[in-house]
Amino acid sequence: MTTVVRVETTPSSVPLHTPFVTALRRTETVDTVLVRVTDSDGRVGWGEAPQVWQVTGESLASATACLEQMLAPAVTGHALDDLDDLTALGRVVARTVARNFGAKAALDAALHDLLAQAEGVSVATLLAEGRRVPERVLVTDVTLSAGDAADLADTARSRVADGFTTLKMKVGTDADTDVQRVASVRDAVGPGVAIRLDANQGWTREEAVRVIRALEVADLGVEFVEQPVVADDIEGLAWVRERVGLPVMADESCFGPYDLERIIRLGAADLVNVKLAKCGSLAVGRDLLRRAHDAGLRTIVGSMMESHVGVGAAAALVAAEPTTEVSDLDAAWWSVTSPVDGGIAYSGNEIRLPDASGFGVAGLSVRA
């Protein structure tokens, strides 16, 4: 019988090649906690808990404390031989502490990595449950940080030259000039590049309707507008959606199943953005995608500012349970280097999953 014998945490801070700026925050580093889980056969599984004060409320200190003081003792010694064991461990992780979804997701990913390695398959194959053969190459959008119109136009041209065909613009910092900035980017890249917007809760209800209607009048070819109002105002999200034509996406308003059911019941969104650090596990993320699809909602999978470990877990989810739209998996692309050897790799707008069991992570990188 294989058992979980050790859970270890390592803080990681990797510089970005370009500052990442939204309506909520600015950062020049990816700050996360890397999690390694060792089983009794000597295999090591990997996960990652990002520090995201403004969205999940978790920090390096809180994730480390949660993992070391609560979650590690709860799973150590438990069997991990098959999917039933993995499901049982998932229930243990879920009930041991309230919330702390980033820490939970990190441990959950590492446990999936361990079992997938033991079975000689990828995590994506494990998650797919035989329903499909997962893709090994995925397409991602790329984010344009909040900025002035001229800088955004220059950055947009650069990102298209880098091979990206879907741009995710950060807006919500100034409702009076948001439309001008979107127009500047559209003029810079032409009609063939997809543009989607993320307000990161930056508008009031009234501002959201005013800006989105202006975008519609300007006919700028926007795919959708993500999280136009504050996260807790799901009624406000529905209020905005009723008054505009562009599709509306819920991100910070949708952490887990309860939020998703409320969004469906209120007709609050056309799309949802599923993130592991919000929902706490790969299986829950997969179930959220399935439920959203059954309800007629479109989907993407995103990540926080995470390294190749966390984004690799999100990519495995997309490979196992494809989203309806191009997902938002560029976070690790912003990093100057990876804190680990192996795992996912970027090529233009593509993410390549490794041809290896588990997540394909070989160990900590000496470069990071």
Q: Is 335 helix (H, G, I), strand (E, B) or coil?
A: strand
- The residue among 123, 141, 168 whose CA lies nearest residue 323 is 141
> Cα(154)–Cα(364) distance, rounded to whole angstroms?
35
244 CA to centre of own chain: 26
Beta bridge partners of 122: 358
Distance CA 29, CA 93 (A): 29
Q: Are strands 4-21 and 44-50 parallel, antiparallel or unpaired?
A: unpaired
Is 170 part of the annotated catalytic residue set?
yes
Instruction: With beta carbons less than 8 A apart as the criterion, state whether 46 and 36 touch.
Output: yes
Q: Give residues with Cβ within 8 angstroms of 294, minimum separation 6.
A: none
Determine how many CB atoms are found less than 10 A away from the CB of residue 339. 24
**Phi/psi at 349 (5° precision):** -95, 15
Q: Which residues contact 216 (CB under 8 A, 6 or more apart)?
A: 244, 245, 246
* Residue ranges with strand state E in the chain: 4-21, 26-39, 44-50, 137-139, 142-144, 166-170, 194-198, 222-226, 248-250, 271-274, 298-301, 340-342, 345-347, 350-352, 361-364
d(CA 31, CA 269): 31
Answer yes or no: 278 catalytic. Answer: no
Cα separation, 271 vs 323, in Å, equals 10
CA 54 to chain CA mean position, Å:
15
Q: Which residues belong to the active site? A: 170, 275
